[in-house]
Amino acid sequence: DTVLTQSPALAVSPGERVSISCRASEGVNSYMHWYQQKPGQQPKLLIYKASNLASGVPARFSGSGSGTDFTLTIDPVEADDTATYFCQQSWNDPDTFGAGTKLELK
């Protein structure tokens, strides 16, 4: 299975820019997607196919990358962005998720 590696946690101040990385153990073309999960809630799609903003998602969120290295950027970060962010690939079977990056605000 394709392993997706994310840093476990980040802490930033409101108004700053934050980049969350996801590295795949093998190429996934552009089929990397990003989700936000707040405590006690279901995940929510933010970015699909590496750089496409999902419907209703603020333009503060953006995605980039291809192949094996991908980044989710939030600029500027707001207090409501406190959550865990997961990457997911759908190019190689089976679909796999990263372990998640917990974003905390200072």
Partner 1 sequence: EVQLVESGGGLVQPGRSMKLSCAASGFTFSNYGMAWVRQAPTKGLEWVATISYDGSSTYYRDSVKGRFTISRDNAKSTLYLQMNSLRSEDTATYYCTRDGTYYYPNWFAYWGQGTLVTVSS
d(CA 14, CA 86): 21
Contact 90, 33 (CB under 8 A): yes
Check binding of 61 to partner 1 (CB under 8 A).
no
Residue recorded with tokens 């809630």? 41
Q: Which of residues 39-58 bind partner 1 (CB under 8 A)?
A: 41-45, 48-49, 54
What gap in Å lies between CA 105 and CA 13, rounded to an integer? Answer: 5
25 binds partner 1 (CB under 8 A): no
Smallest separation, CB 20 to partner 1 (Å): 15
What is d(CA 24, CA 70) in angstroms, rounded to the nearest whole number? 8
Binding part of the chain for partner 1, among 10-18, 35-43, 59-67, 72-80 by CB under 8 A, reads 35-43
96 binds partner 1 (CB under 8 A): yes
Residue 65 binds partner 1, judged by CB under 8 A: no
Q: Tell me how far apart the alpha carbons of residues 96 and 3 are, in angstroms, rounded to a whole number.
A: 7
Q: Least Å distance between CB 13 and partner 1?
A: 27
Q: Residue 43, preceding bond cis, omega within 30 degrees?
A: no
| Footprint on this chain of partner 1 (rule: CB under 8 A) | 31, 33, 35, 41-45, 48-49, 54, 86, 88, 90-91, 93-100
